[in-house]
Amino acid sequence: MRLKKSLAKLIAWERTCCVATASPAGVPHVVPVCHVLVDGKLYFASDAGARKVRNLKANPHIAVTVNLYSDDWSNLKGVLLQGTVGLIEKGPRFRKIRRLLYAKYPQYPDEAALEESEVVIVEVTPARVFSWGVE
C-alpha cells in the first residue's frame, strides 16, 4: 500500500510513534519508539529480547500511531498504520536502516548503539492506513 505524500511527510517528520503488539494470549503491549520511514515502510530498532519483539515473533501484526497533539483540537493530526512486520537481524539492510536511524537521532550511537548481535530492526509494512486532521 502506498502512503499519501502528506501522511508520509507527517510520519517521517515526527520524532516518535507508539507501536502496539499482542502476546500469543492476546495481551496488548504499547510502547513509544523512534522510527524512520523509507519507501512507505516504517522502521524502528529494538533489543532482540524485548517484549514487543517476542510478541511480533508470535504474532506479526502491528498497529502504529503517529499523533500530533494540540490544545486547539481543530489542529489535532495523526496517522494509524496497521500491518505486518519483518525482523531484520543483520546484514546490509540492517546497516542501512541503522545509518538512517543514526542520522535522524544522533543520540543513538552514544546512548543506545544498535549492534547487530543485540538488536533487531523491525520493518512495518502497512496494510491499512487511517488518518485524522491531515489533508
> What is the tens place of the pLDDT at every residue in 95-123?
999 999 999 999 988 888 888 889 999 99
Return the residue matching grid coordinates 543520540: 107
Question: Contact, 124 vs 85, CB < 8 A?
Answer: yes
The structure's pTM equals 0.94
pLDDT per residue as tens digits for the range 54-101: 999 999 999 999 999 989 999 999 999 999 999 999 999 999 999 999
Nearest to 11 by CA among 45, 46, 36, 39: 36
Question: Contact, 3 vs 32, CB < 8 A?
Answer: no
Q: What pLDDT, on a 0 to 100 scale, did the predictor assign at position 1?
A: 76
Distances (CA, A) of 83 to 1, 54, 106: 10, 17, 28
pLDDT per residue as tens digits for the range 40-55: 999 999 999 999 999 9
Q: Which three cell numbers stand for residue 134?
A: 491531515
CATH number of 5-132: 2.30.110.10
